[in-house]
Structure 1
């Protein structure tokens, strides 16, 4: 089965909220991420790459290294901040129905490939479990606490009451400000070093009718959320932008690590690191684009081989011939003959 095109992406609402929390922080690391540009974040149908969002989390953690940044982000995030996903939680018949639907449609907010959510309903307790990707430990902790806090703040908004969870479990060790976390959740029943992250609500809280519920509205919003997901489009990945810039450099006969790094608003060293993060190298990418460019010139033009060699960065025709033989198992003239036939 083909994976969903939104796997590996998050909603613009989520990215916009987290980027907004960085006001006053050094956002230099974000400048090189095309899917965090203002025009992208302002488009509710944009899907931001998860690696870009992880970079935002890294900056948030660095900005406030000894604070509970996950819960803090939500202090200024009223209902509506996260788009239609927020309203899925406030319009169901009960909190149990609303949370279940919100978990089923987590793709409307986060990355369905990275965020793993499970609902457990054993009668006395209604529990939402959460796990995220294998990022850096500080980022994972921030995301986990954000997710648990998100379900709590939305439960309180949906019920119109200061709901207190019956139990919270966290896989991480107690943070330096564990008392602050207890104050946020409103309970000391927080278990650290647990086997999984979870937040549980009592039966009275999850089964009582929600004050803003309207018959059928939850189903209507769920259908609309599915339509929004179908219309959403992921913004180009960083690797796609890099290939575009490198190809342009070839066409302008200005292929160098320094030139391409400058066009991407980064340093040569950082560019090499980003390539390594994507499982490749500068040399491999140059060779790949050189191959593509050479084949295009051979098949679509009648330029002399000497000219083609110069355009793709080779010093002489002999080097070009060896490269074409290595790539295609044919001589350049045979490649051209095949294209003509």
Structure 2
């Protein structure tokens, strides 16, 4: 059988500033961090999110926002396997209509393939695929960015595979045990937490991140199967995907327009004119994307600054000018808001990654 992939996958297909990812991971991350006595509200605020926004079903975050909060959460909790805890804490109810569709699918395989098809709506920050193989039914998770911060990459991989096993047990049977689980990162000092969660052989430093389902489990009927409800849910998901593509196209067009205009930034009025739209309509469409024009501009400037900081021949004054800042002080304030450090720290080899 040919390998099945989602055609429209948010990570890697849009610029990192686009707010197109459902914040499910961040919501569960906040809950788990609370158990460590860590309040992530300041970290969320640092990337432009607040408690009210996090409760909104319409909220979308960017890949960069998610990565920044995750990296800081791992550091604040001191738990190198925080991703496992977050994955194990999840429920399908957080996925809305998609979660309902998975529960109503005919078989576990149908549920998985539905999740892969509509992964953009689940809050996934990795790229999912699934296929039938001789060893069983294989579900893979791949990073959309080879240069992703290793701390964030490990978290996302742990969270992804742990959530699949956890949600399978909740929806199809608590006795579920994979044939095997494989991680591409090196083996940690303590592997007991992995074997306790997955209850099967766990391999590290593998060529890919994957879970192998027993073929019998993949064919297993879902307890909540309902063909009418499943069809209705799929119709709603198709509508959401079409809307998401429109939103993503809008954000990408705006980002390209801003990036090409730097150091000058087109006014909101000018952008509305370019899109043959009224200011009110454009503002409403951005609100539907979970963002504002100011946030899009800020994201593009941030990306430009991070690129320019890797060019040692440029002074901070050069970078400020090329990225559209009024002076070096404005640049320093922006970098500190984004990263919590001065621009010079980001230029140092040992400095924190740009996210």
Indicate whether the TM-score tops 0.5. yes
1:115 maps to which of 126, 146, 149: 126
Residue in structure 1 matching 2:113, options 94, 100, 113: 100
Instruction: Call closer, same or farther: CA 1:268–1:262 in 2, change over 3 Å.
Output: same
Task: Give the structure 2 partner of residue 61 of structure 1.
Answer: 74
1:171 Cα deviation from its structure 2 partner: 0.6
Distance verdict in 2 for CA 1:225–1:162, change over 3 Å: same
Could you tell me how far apart the structure 1 residues matched to 2:296 and 2:342 are? 11
1:66 and 1:13 mapped to 2: Cα distance? 20
Contact 2:183 2:206 in 1 (8 A): yes
CA-to-partner distance for each residue in 1:49-94, whole Å, 9 max, x for gaps? 1100001110222134344211211343223123333333222100
SS of aligned partner of 1:194: coil
Q: Looking at CA atoms only, which structure, 1 or 2, has the larger radius of gyration? A: 1
Alignment counterpart, residue 204 of structure 1, candidates 216, 225, 237:
216
Listed as ranges, the gaps of 5+ residues in structure 1 are 245-253, 277-341
Distance 1:33 1:90, change over 3 A: same
Root mean square deviation, CA, Å = 3.5
| 2: CA distance, partners of 1:240 / 1:274 | 23
| Cα separation, 2, equivalents of 1:63 and 1:4 | 28
Alignment check: 8 A CA contact 1:129 1:197 kept: yes
**Structure 1 residue 162 displacement after superposition:** 2.2
Q: How far 1:222 moved relative to its partner? A: 2.3
CA separation in 1, counterparts of 2:164 and 2:87?
Answer: 11
Change (3 A) 1:109 1:265: same
- Paired residues for 1:278-289 under 5 Å: none
The offset of 1:241, in angstroms, is 3.8
Contact 2:9 2:127 in 1 (8 A): no
Distance 1:83 1:64, change over 3 A: same
Determine if contact 1:257/1:268 at 8 Å carries over to the other structure: no
Match for 1:218 among 218, 227, 230?
230
Residues 1:4 and 1:185: Cα distance change in structure 2 (over 3 Å)? closer
Per the alignment, residue 266 of structure 1 pairs with: 337
Structure 1's 273 and 160: CA in aligned 2 closer, same or farther, altered over 3 A? Answer: farther
Contact 1:25/1:63 (8 A) holds in 2: yes
Question: In the alignment, is the contact (CA less than 8 A) between 2:88 and 2:162 conserved in 1?
Answer: no
Cα offset, 1:262, TM superposition = 6.0
Q: Deviations over 1:305-332 (max 9, x none)?
A: xxxxxxxxxxxxxxxxxxxxxxxxxxxx
Matches within 5 A, 1:25-104: 25=38, 27=40, 28-34=42-48, 36-104=49-117
Inter-CA distance 162–169: structure 2 relative to 1 (3 Å threshold): same
Q: Deviations over 1:279-304 (max 9, x none)?
A: xxxxxxxxxxxxxxxxxxxxxxxxxx
Distance in 2, Cα, partners of 1:224 & 1:18: 27
Question: Distance in 2 between the 1:256 and 1:275 partners?
Answer: 18
Q: Quote the residue 2:140 is aligned against.
A: 129
CA change 1:259–1:170 in 2 (3 A) is closer
Alignment CA distance shift 1:57-1:154 (3 Å): same
Q: Does 1:240 pair with 2:240?
A: no
- Corresponding residue of 2:4: none
Mark the runs of 5 or more structure 2 residues left unpaired by the alignment. 1-7, 245-287, 302-324, 348-355
